[in-house]
Structure 1
Amino acid sequence: MILFILKERKDYSTLKEKLQGSSASYKFLNLYGKNLLLAWPDSEAEKISDESVEIAVKTKRPYVLASNEWKKEPTRVKVKDVEVGGEKVVVAAGPCAVESEEQVLTVAKAVKRAGASLLRGGAYKPRTSPYSFQGLGEEGVKILRRAGDEVGLPIVTEIMDTKDSEVFKKYVDMVQIGARNAQNFSLLKEVASIGKPVLLKRGLANTVEEWLQAAEYLLYGGNGDVVLCERGIRTFEKATRFTLDVGGMVAAKTMTHLPMCADPSHPAGKRELVHSLALASVAAGVDMLLIEVHPNPEKALSDSEQQLTPESFEVLMNRIKALASALGRSA
């Protein structure tokens, strides 16, 4: 795979003629204000030479667009007025599942007061059992939207099906792709076209490289506003719900320009572990945290054991701010 960074111009007709006359596969796209050309296989792409080309980057990595081989500076993703990937450690907080208007608004006010920058909540719920609470669907998204507007927080929620893309275009500020859909390639292609920032979770058994290749689908589709989210992988360990791969997060940060998020709630599985995993993630250099908070966790309709109370979340936010400050950042 060779990535060509093109010079600023409106007409690439000569270059296009050369490509059409070759046997190379290719794609033109614009990312981060740059006009780009992807061409493969290498044997054919290497034959392409044109005055339109400014830089050619050849890579063996299967995630050329997500790679930091061509884009050296870290990407910053804007979710409305919230920037992910800068000095501030951004915290998104809210219930695992949207259950009612009162529940979401209560949490929204509490997490905003404690210092969260985004409101999270699940409206479409991927559940292992068909008998578990499946979420409120579109009505849940609308509830989250109203609560976010009332307290002044952008919202992030998970999409599960391509048929719901219009709902997400209309109501959602950041689209989450969950672990179970991390390699749902039809969904990745559809979400790339929605035109909203994307929070891409790592699959339950994905390697770091597979995770970055999932991100590549989004960038290849023309959406560069992608935040990677480590949410724990499935290993032999049973003391935690999943294994938070801190080393994988650190490795990914050396391989990509995309910002990094951690979800400490899912790998913890128990609320008493969430604080430590969140702080470990901040110490490891993440740009964002995704934390579950419920006004009455014991009565939650999903993942009751891992959700924090608003009071516990406030304590955690104070700890995150202190640690971020010690590391030369803010929260």
Structure 2
Amino acid sequence: MMIIMRADATQEQISQVVARVEAVGLRAHLSRGQERTLIGAIGDDRTIDKGHFAVLPGVDRVVPILRPYKLASREFSPENTVFPLDGVSIGGNEIVLIAGPCSVESRAQLMEIAHAVREAGAHALRGGAYKPRTSPYAFQGLGEEGLELLAEAREETGLPIVTEVMAPEMVPLVAKYADVLQIGARNMQNFALLHAAGESQRPVLLKRGMSATIEELLMAAEYILSHGNRRVILCERGIRTFENATRNTTDINAIPVVKSLSHLPVILDPSHSTGKWEYVLPIARAAIAAGADGLIVEVHPHPEEALSDGGQSLKPERFVEMVEQVRRIAQAIGRDVAPSPHRERLASPLGAGRRDEQ
């Protein structure tokens, strides 16, 4: 259930409601809006008399949340969740672009791509240090060496790092280097990993599973949110259907549907959702037109030599073209691509560890 406080409710009254929620065995989650405070009472409330909360001082009304996902729902937070990531806001009116290679292959490869996407206007650098592959014989990533290279790329370019974490025990190590923890499609329902990512209090980019429903995606986000970690980005990356003309089937419908059901920011991955570089630009345009808050795109200077997913990677010059096309689409619907704070800024001497200023 959701307890809506009056606009003039005092902090003492809010604290009293929180104490009462916790006294009956529920968890209290506060959402402070511009006009009033909402208190989500999370847990099994079927045997609890809602009227006990309705009469507390400062309470306006008590509303049941009927959806299985509580904290991720629009009922809990009618306003869009917006949070900062090193100079840009994710979930606001401006579009955020995350770009980089599927896998970190070498220092030279990563630095070339990092500088190229920064100059094109990217706001964050993606790159896999650990790679979940269908075949055990395929390239599995450089591991911690890849994380160290990503940290070096951040020092040189200023771009925050988005990289995948594959197991709960790996979260502390990856969080040491990464600005955003990515949970891939294959791990969307790895519940131990979701718990660990939530406990880390690092921003999390959660990709939709290849056969997951929208409700299952939002329930996965609920695991992260239940730890008080509000910085969650949902990512549509295509779903598995009978169609084999593309790697996956891009569910453009999911963007407006998720945004109607949830307050969390939604981005699209046109690289994985198509699997072919020639379709990345049109699907990127479609995503922004449908209301996506950003894109995550694979870029490689020599896709034919890539150790993973070269066929869906844009060359840097095509990424430049994509940014310009996306900007025009965004402007047509009253939005814009966020200015990049990294293009003119000198690299900050942060060392190889993660950033703490977010």
Q: TM range, normalised to the smaller chain?
A: over 0.9
Report deviation, 1:169. 2.6
2:81 aligned partner: 75
Aligned to 1:42: 46
Q: Judge conservation of contact 1:30–1:222 (CA < 8 Å) in 2.
A: no
Q: Structure 2: which amino acid aligns with 1:88?
A: E
Amino acid in the other structure paired with 2:115: K
Q: Go from structure 1 to structure 2 and tell me whether the alpha carbon gap of 1:45 and 1:273 turns closer, same or farther (over 3 Å shift).
A: farther
Q: 1:212-239 CA deviation, whole Å, 9 max, x = no partner?
A: 1111111111111111100001011101
- For 1:313 and 1:122, the matched residues in 2 are separated by 19
Residue 3 of structure 1 pairs with residue 2 of structure 2: yes
Query: Partner amino acid for 1:9?
Result: E
SS, match of residue 199 in structure 1: strand
Is 1:319 equivalent to 2:325 in the alignment? yes
Residue 195 of structure 1: aligned partner: 201
For structure 1, which runs of at least 5 residues remain unmatched after alignment?
A: none
Instruction: Report the alpha carbon displacement of residue 135 of structure 1 after superposing the two structures with TM.
Output: 0.7
The answer on whether the counterparts of 1:230 and 1:261 sit within 8 Å (CA) in structure 2 is yes
- The unaligned stretches of length 5 or more in structure 2 are 338-358
Checking the alignment, whether the CA contact within 8 Å between 1:241 and 1:269 is kept in structure 2 is: yes
Paired residues of 1:66 and 1:212 also in contact (CA < 8 A): yes
Deviation at 1:72, TM superposition (A): 1.2
Q: Percent identity?
A: 46
Provide Cα deviations, 1:229-277, integer angstroms capped at 9, x if missing partner.
0000101110110011011221111111111100000011111111111
Distance in 2 separating the partners of 1:266 and 1:112: 21
1:139 and 2:145 matched: yes
The Cα offsets for residues 148-197 of structure 1, whole Å up to 9 and x where unpaired, read as 22111111111111111222332111111110111111111110111111
Task: Describe the shift of the 1:10–1:96 C-alpha distance in structure 2 as closer, same or farther (beyond 3 A).
Answer: farther
Q: Residues 318 and 13 (structure 1 numbering): CA distance in 2 closer, same or farther, change over 3 Å?
A: closer
Amino acid at match of 2:42: L
* CA pair 236-186 structure 1, distance change in 2 beyond 3 A: same
Residues 91-106 of structure 1: pairs in structure 2 closer than 5 A: 91-106=97-112
- Shift in CA distance, 55/122, structure 1 to aligned 2, threshold 3 Å: farther
Asked whether 1:259 is paired with 2:258, we answer no
* 1:12-65 deviation line (CA, Å, top 9, x unaligned): 568746864x5xx41123456865432423342525323364542302101111
Using the TM superposition, give the Cα deviation of residue 206 of structure 1 relative to its aligned residue in structure 2, in angstroms: 0.7
Which residue is equivalent to 2:27?
Answer: 27
Range with bigger deviation, 141-150 or 51-60: 51-60
Q: Which runs of 4+ in 1 moved over 6 A?
A: none
Count of aligned positions: 327
Answer whether contact 2:21 2:28 (CA < 8 A) is retained. Answer: no
Query: In structure 1, what is the Cα distance between the partners aligned to 2:314 and 2:14?
Result: 55
Could you say which residue in structure 2 is the equivalent of 1:218? 224
Hey, what does 1:167 align to over in structure 2? 173
Aligned to 2:118: 112
* In 2, Cα distance between equivalents of 1:171 and 1:264: 26
Tell whether 2:278 aligns with 1:272: yes
Is 1:64 aligned to 2:70, yes or no?
yes
User: 1:243 is matched with which residue?
Assistant: 249
Contact 1:200 1:227 in 2 (8 A): yes
Q: Distance in 2 between matches of 1:135 and 1:120?
A: 14
Deviation at residue 70 of structure 1 after TM alignment: 2.6
User: Could you tell me which residue of structure 1 aligns to residue 300 of structure 2?
Assistant: 294
User: What is the alpha-carbon distance in structure 2 between the residues aligned to residue 246 and residue 14 of structure 1?
Assistant: 41
Question: 1:77 Cα deviation (Å)?
Answer: 2.3
Contact kept? 1:4, 1:38, Cα under 8 Å: no
Q: Which range moves more in the overlay, 166-175 or 233-242?
A: 166-175
1:284 matched residue in structure 2: 290
Q: In structure 1, what is the Cα distance between the partners aligned to 2:109 and 2:259?
A: 36
- More displaced 10-residue stretch of structure 1: 115-124 or 51-60: 51-60
Say whether 1:85 aligns with 2:91. yes
TM-score of the pair, normalised by structure 1? 0.93
Q: Secondary structure at the match of 2:114?
A: helix
Distance 2:85 2:114 in 1: 17
Q: Is the 8 A contact 1:67 1:256 kept in 2?
A: yes
For the 8 Å contact 2:13–2:58, the answer to whether it is kept is no
Structure 2: distance between partners of 1:18 and 1:221 = 17
2: distance between equivalents of 1:47 and 1:88? 42
Q: 1:95 to 1:58 in 2, by over 3 A?
A: same
Residue 160 of structure 2 corresponds to: 154
SS at match of 1:222: coil
Over the aligned positions, Cα root-mean-square deviation in angstroms equals 2.0
